[in-house]
């Protein structure tokens, strides 16, 4: 019995050494994720009725396991009846009764029954963004823009409705959505004791990018955003414009299919702003979908293909600049913005045609 036990321990010891050497070799040759990728893909492919070849098995994950059966390949983002209600902390935003239509009054009454003590931050919002398109999500403070972006990202779960990114619902597969999105936010920070090089490679690792691929992507972004002068400085020593360039690179390090930009030019001078403009044009040329949320309407007017003007959580106006001009009779987004918030009366048909 003792002899059997000794042999058993010997076999276990040999297997442990072999497995440790195998893991060390995997780490050294940058394919440590191989067995785990195989297992993950095997589980996903056997959970859906699709046929894939070996290249798909060891290349990218099977999107069909997550994609909606009604997904359109040309539509990158689809927001449908998206609603978010927060718990009331003292008061509730309401539209004055004189500005409500009969339909709004009925809808608000049903909302009150369902959410009697809630604050409606986003109310039945719907829009779509196609590949290679820049969509401007505009509105005053408190209109629900940032809340909408957070629901698209999967950081907030909607009260009702849904958002799809590349046919994948953000309330069902948050991690798969995050793999496909890059976020640039004025409120985002950098790790002050890391250099931009270290930070970007760190985020590439979080997204599961192979080290060799991450290094080549980093070299491309260094050239694209002119990071070479400060790529090895600590982030705490960078200027505001330099930090913004690093944030732009961080959003692209995993080569996402779409980019969300929340006030991307806040605090930047004319040179930093131009870098952001060139960055957005580069995204469009590469077929990525872009959503910009900003208060700088003159910048949005020159950058965006279509616009969605939000007011009190709802989509007040949507369309291209020419379509919005036809609807409102006004020439600039600033005038339309003021009209949406009811701070100036709309032009009459006679005035619009003059």
What are the residue boundaries of the structural domains of the chain, listed by start? 33-65, 75-319
Q: What are phi and psi of 3, to 5 degrees?
A: -65, -40
185, β-bridge pairs:
262
Q: What is the pLDDT of residue 115?
A: 54
Q: What is the pLDDT of residue 219?
A: 94
> pLDDT per residue over 56-76, tens digit each?
333 334 343 444 444 456 788
Q: What is the pLDDT of residue 98?
A: 42
Residues in the chain, pLDDT under 50: 30-71, 92-113, 344-354
CATH code for the structural domain at 75-319: 3.40.50.300
Cβ–Cβ under 8 Å, residues 135 and 291:
yes
Q: What are phi and psi of 284, to 5 degrees?
A: -65, -40
Q: What is the pLDDT of residue 232?
A: 95
Q: What is the pLDDT of residue 61?
A: 41
Cβ–Cβ under 8 Å, residues 22 and 1:
no
Q: What is the pTM of this model?
A: 0.68
Give first-to-last CA distance, the chain, whole Å. Answer: 104
- List, as own/partner pairs, every contact residues 71-76 make where C-beta atoms lie below 8 angstroms and the sequence separation is at least 24, other chains included: 71/164, 71/166, 71/167, 72/167, 74/130, 74/131, 75/128, 75/129, 75/130, 75/131, 76/129, 76/130, 76/131, 76/133, 76/165, 76/166, 76/257, 76/258, 76/288, 76/289
DSSP SS3 for 79: strand
What DSSP character marks residue 68?
A: -
Q: What is the pLDDT of residue 80?
A: 92
Q: What is the pLDDT of residue 188?
A: 76
Q: Is 263 exposed, middle or buried (0-12, 13-18, 19+ CB in 10 A)?
A: middle
Cβ–Cβ under 8 Å, residues 124 and 314:
yes
What DSSP character marks residue 259?
A: E
Give me the DSSP letters along 138-179.
E-STTSSHHHHHHHHHTSS--SEEEEEETTEETTT-HHHHHH
Cβ–Cβ under 8 Å, residues 57 and 41:
yes
Q: Residue 150, Cβ neighbours under 10 Å: how many?
A: 19
Question: Tokens 């619902």, residue?
Answer: 169
The number of residues making up the chain comes to: 354
Question: Tokens 């629901």, residue?
Answer: 151
165, β-bridge pairs:
77, 168
Give dist(CA 1, CA 240) in Å, integer. 72
């Amino acid at each position: 019995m003792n002899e059997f036990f000794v042999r058993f321990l010997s076999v276990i010891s040999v297997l442990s050494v072999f497995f440790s050497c195998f893991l060390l070799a995997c780490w050294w040759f940058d394919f440590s994720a191989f067995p785990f990728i195989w297992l993950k893909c095997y589980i996903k492919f056997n959970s859906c009725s699709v046929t894939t070849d070996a290249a798909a098995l060891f290349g990218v994950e099977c999107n069909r396991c997550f994609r909606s059966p009604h997904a359109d390949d040309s539509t990158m983002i689809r927001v449908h009846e998206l609603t978010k209600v927060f718990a009331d902390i003292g008061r509730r935003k309401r539209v004055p009764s004189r500005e409500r239509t009969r339909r709004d009054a009925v809808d608000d009454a049903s909302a009150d029954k369902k959410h009697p003590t809630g604050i409606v931050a986003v109310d039945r919002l719907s829009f779509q963004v196609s590949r290679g398109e820049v969509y401007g999500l505009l509105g005053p403070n408190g209109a629900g823009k940032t809340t909408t972006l957070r629901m698209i990202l999967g950081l907030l779960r909607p009260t009702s409705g849904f958002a799809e990114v590349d046919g994948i619902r953000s309330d069902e597969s948050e991690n798969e959505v995050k793999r496909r999105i890059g976020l640039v936010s004025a409120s985002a920070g950098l790790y002050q004791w890391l250099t931009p090089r270290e930070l970007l490679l760190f985020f590439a690792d979080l997204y599961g990018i192979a080290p060799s691929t991450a290094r080549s992507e980093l070299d491309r972004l260094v050239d694209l955003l002119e990071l070479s002068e400060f790529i090895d400085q600590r982030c705490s020593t960078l200027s505001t414009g330099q930090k913004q360039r690093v944030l732009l690179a961080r959003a692209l390090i995993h080569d996402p299919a779409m980019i969300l930009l929340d006030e991307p030019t806040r605090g930047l001078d004319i040179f930093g702003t131009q870098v952001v403009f060139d960055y957005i044009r580069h995204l469009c040329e590469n077929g990525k979908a872009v959503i910009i949320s900003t208060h700088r309407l003159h910048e949005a007017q020159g950058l965006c293909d279509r616009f969605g003007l939000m007011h009190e959580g709802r989509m007040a106006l949507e369309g291209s600049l020419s379509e919005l001009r036809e609807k409102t009779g006004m020439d600039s987004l600033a005038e339309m913005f003021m009209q949406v918030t009811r701070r100036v009366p709309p032009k009459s048909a006679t005035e619009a045609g003059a």
